[in-house]
Amino acid sequence: MGKKKTEKLDVSPIFKPIKIGNVEIKNRIAMAPMNMNFTGPNRYVSRQQMAYYAARAKGGTGLIIMEAAMASEMAISDTYRKYNNACLSSEIYVPLMAELVEHVHSFGAKFFVQLAVNAGRQGTSEAGACQPVSASPIPWKGFPEYMINNFEPRQLARACGYQGKIPEFDDHEELMDFARKIPGVHLGGETPREITVEEIKAQLADLGQSAKNAKRAGFDGIEIHAPHGYLMHSFFSPRSNKRTDEYGGTFENRIRIVLEAIHACRKKVGPDYVVGVRISASENLPEGFDPEYARRIAKRCEEEGADYIHLSDGSYEKMNDFLPDKEGQVMPKAAIIKKGLKIPLICPSVHNPENIVDVLTTGKADMVSQGRQQIADPEWVNKVQAGKFKDIIKCTRCNIGCLTRFVLALPGRCILNPTVGQEQWMDEYMKRPILPIKKRAWQIMKEIGKEPSVPVE
């Protein structure tokens, strides 16, 4: 679509409110959950995280989904430790999480948190962690033809501190094999141990408790983390699940873990609190699943009580689906998965306003989530609403400041947006209005489920 058509674009479908469960969201744009390595020591929320999310809320984004917070403190859940995810597995994390929620709410956005129990076979024993676990003892392997922009093995090896000579390889796969052996590069996985049924049950119990903690902290909803090749995803796929027990074999057995996850959360948060699920739209690999299979997963999640489905795509093995290099890659897959689904569906990685309008008006999905675009321009929503399309800072999907630094366990940055990582020093994102005493008291009463007897002026 040309510039003139964009300037005349009717963006009203983007700004039509939508309800997910009993939560009303003011527009159809969500910020996708992304770990930017901003978490403070010992997995506590940091001042920088508060300001970073506040910037996107102030920018008009209707729904913000916080990056995956650890939902279990079992040793097998700690195989992603170099990336320092936040945590909600214990009540000790609730007070600071509550401060984060209150801060983001004060800037006008609804706020969900994604809860993750385990990195699965994509975890690593680096940094002193234990052996990863997965549905079956099958390692993952990165493929050179599926890499993303600026994830060149030589560059990653140097960035991870390798000082030796890197031979010239005629075959790119040989270069990948060389790079995989370098600590920190993470272009392939070690062989995981098959997780036991007892461990699965313990992980799901922890997930339910974390959902309860999220509700107590004031989040408007939770999102169960089941995409991208991590633990739950590894059960879905015939490619990574060769089990013969109740968690393997048939379709219903392979998706049992995510259905039980929904039940575990519902048991702790009740029927009216928002519980969503994020899954990959496809794998696009031998023995992997396709969008029609993902549609069946989504429908079963709906039947078991999920309030919405949030799509992603691919895995570490299919990295250029997980982190699309092209605009709107997931849109046609979302259209397939949406068929027959009554709960809202969120389609990821759509940056251009005209494509978002197409997604919404043609029924491919009910909302759109943006990850890297929200990093590049936290004011995207406000600019679109004001018709200032030329002012949008467009993400180039270069992956330099965000993803490359993430792999190195460094705080995220953006080559287009110098404020990323600096929001905590900016008053416009850290200062929030002090509510009048009566209004604050009313809010507290609402949070604990009591109606105030005195009206608030």
Which of 338, 248, 246 shows the shortest CA–CA distance to 292? 338
Question: pTM of whole model > 0.85?
Answer: yes
The whole-angstrom separation of Cα 185 and Cα 293 is: 32
DSSP string, 328-360: TTTHHHHHHHHTT--S-EEEE---SHHHHHHHH
Locate CATH 3.20.20.70 in the chain: 3-138+189-425
Which tokens go with 246? Answer: 């109740």
Phi-psi region of 397 (alpha: psi -120 to 50; beta: other; left: phi over 0): left
DSSP helix/strand/coil, 429: helix
Q: How wide is the angle at C-alpha 387 spanned by C-alphas 385 and 391, nearest 5°?
A: 105
The whole-angstrom separation of Cα 90 and Cα 71 is: 8
Angle between helices 197-217 and 94-105 (to 10 degrees): 50
Q: pLDDT tens per residue, the chain (457 residues)?
A: 455 566 789 999 999 999 999 999 999 999 999 999 999 999 999 999 999 999 999 999 999 999 999 999 999 999 988 889 999 999 999 999 999 999 999 999 999 999 999 999 999 998 889 999 999 999 999 888 898 888 888 888 887 888 899 888 888 888 888 888 888 787 888 999 999 999 999 999 999 999 999 999 999 999 999 999 999 999 999 999 999 999 999 999 999 999 999 999 999 999 999 999 999 999 999 999 999 999 999 999 999 999 999 999 999 999 999 999 999 999 999 999 999 999 999 999 999 999 999 999 999 999 999 999 999 999 999 999 999 999 999 999 999 999 888 888 899 999 999 999 999 999 999 998 787 777 777 777 777 777 766 555 5
305 Cβ contact partners less than 8 Å away, ≥ 6 residues apart: 262, 263, 266, 271, 275
The CATH number of the domain covering residues in 3-138+189-425: 3.20.20.70
Cβ–Cβ contacts within 10 Å for residue 188, how many? 17
**Catalytic residue numbers?**
230
In eight-state DSSP terms, residue 242 is -
